[in-house]
Amino acid sequence: MKNYFLSESDKIGEECGVFGMYDFDGGDVAQSIYYGLLSLQHRGQESCGIAVSETMGPKGKVTSHKDMGLVNEAFNHDILSGMHGDIGVGHVRYSTAGSSTRENAQPLVLNYVKGTLAMAHNGNLVNAPELREELAYTGAIFQTTIDSEVIAYHIARERLNTSSVEGAVANAMKKIKGAYSLVIMSPRKLIGARDPNGFRPLVIGKRDNCYILASETCALDTIGAEYIRDVEPGEIVTISPQKGIESNRQMVGSVKCGHCIFEYIYFARPDSILDGVSVYESRIKAGRFLAQDSPVEADVVVGVPESGNCAALGYSMKSGIPYGQAFVKNQYIGRTFIKPGQKSRESSVQVKLNALKHVVDGKRVIMIDDSIVRGTTSDRIVRMLRDAGATEVHMRVSSPPFLWPCYFGTDVPAREQLIAYNRSIDDICKIIGADSLGYLKEERLEELVGHKFDICKGCFTGEYPVAPPEEDIRGEFEE
């Protein structure tokens, strides 16, 4: 058994995860939000937080706690038992814009003349710099370097001229552009909103007399809630005991949808169902397509854990080549692999993998991974398999080559850092040391979701549902 520490610099960040809950019977929700965030931990491991309020208590009183690190590191029994409130929101964060600091952790809590708002956001705005400058010149003082604060400020300002929080959210949505799934807590309402393109997922659930908003259905399963439906792109849902779930669909269908295809390839947990599509089945399809389009003779098919495993199983099903588990991943790495930025990734961010020698020794191996970003990890994994005795290593990738950056909540880097930029597949194959290399065909991406909706595949094609900024604005607010 070979033992390696691998840098995660060839993996892209898991964005963020949001969770909100309202118990109409008045029970405390902090513990359930905690378990919901645990199930969304894969979407962000840098920081996390929970904010709760008692709807029948003093108006505007919010109890919140947020910290760096994993959910089970930031919270304990004493902290949760002191967080009383029947309505609340939670967040797990991976920084794609704004540095990794406690100040940038969410939820954001705003106290203003109309009361208090707490908000959790998944995504990135493309017009945040202009909106931030506009706010700054009218006296706004910012406490963070994240575009989520820009959204919160605009909602608060719109609330001064509207009769309801949801009306303020609707007005703010007319100004902000880009990717955003929002969960907002007001003193008496829980609100969810999704950008008109539907970049990021947001689902509605119910448990007894509690209503839940979450990034993925797996979070509903974790707390024993039933899935009701997805929030539609452009929709605002308002949850209150008086009216249940109200829907504002004035922006639904206002633009072309662009669901992020990488949710299905990599980000989401395989047990989630997003917009009616099983993530697990999408990854099985990707593996089947690879076997059909990029066949090769071999003795065993293996996946790079965790997201490569389903595609490897699909490849095995289609090709008839046996599926094997060639890697064991240390599940207790904790925070060693979560730091953003190329320098820190290369120096200290490591994921420990063990190669199982008896699975690959003397065999021709097909290795499936979800992507190759910079290529700094793939060559080490290929070498690991050869050191464990593999006679051939054929790499197959369940996504097309990354050729463009992402501006909508995924930290796909600048083009110059992408291994596929200005290189042929043969060039990449030589760099990573594989015997052959095959990518998922770009035209297969729509098939992964059964052509049920339009997708965003801008990081592969350079064509985005929303016009990207003229220059890379990620991290724009840091001095």
Cα separations (Å) of 278 from 267, 281, 295, 449, 457?
13, 5, 25, 8, 18
- Taking only the tens place, the pLDDT of each residue in 406-420 is 989 887 778 898 999
Active site residues: 16
Q: What pTM, to 2 d.p., does this model score?
A: 0.91
Is the pLDDT confidence value at 347 over 60? no
Is the pLDDT confidence value at 473 over 80? no
Q: Of 296, 298, 271, 264, which Cα lies nearest the Cα of 398?
A: 264
Is the pLDDT confidence value at 136 over 90? no
In sequence order, the 6+-apart residues with CB closer than 8 A to the CB of 74 are 47, 48, 49, 65, 66, 67, 68
Strand 16-23 and strand 62-68: pairing? unpaired
CB of 127 closer than 8 Å to CB of 193: no
Strand 47-53 and strand 203-207: pairing? unpaired
- Taking only the tens place, the pLDDT of each residue in 79-107 is 999 999 999 999 999 865 545 677 889 99
Phi and psi of 435, rounded to 5°? -80, -30
Structure confidence at residue 338 (pLDDT): 40
Q: Got the DSSP string for 393-451?
A: EEEEESSPPP-S---SS-----GGG-TTTT--HHHHHHHHT-SEEEE--GGGHHHHTTT
| 190: β partners | 185, 239
The conformation of residue 252, written as its DSSP 8-state character, comes to T
% of the chain beyond a pLDDT of 90: 73
Q: Of 68, 193, 63, which Cα lies nearest the Cα of 122?
A: 193
Q: Of 43, 47, 51, 101, which Cα lies nearest the Cα of 71?
A: 47
CB of 408 closer than 8 Å to CB of 456: yes
- Taking only the tens place, the pLDDT of each residue in 163-202 is 999 999 999 999 999 999 999 999 999 999 999 999 999 9
pLDDT class of 351 with cuts at 50, 70, 90: low
Place of tokens 């393109």: 197
Structure confidence at residue 450 (pLDDT): 96
Per-residue pLDDT averaged across 441-467, rounded?
A: 95
| 6: β partners | 351
Is the pLDDT confidence value at 328 over 90? no
CB of 286 closer than 8 Å to CB of 294: no
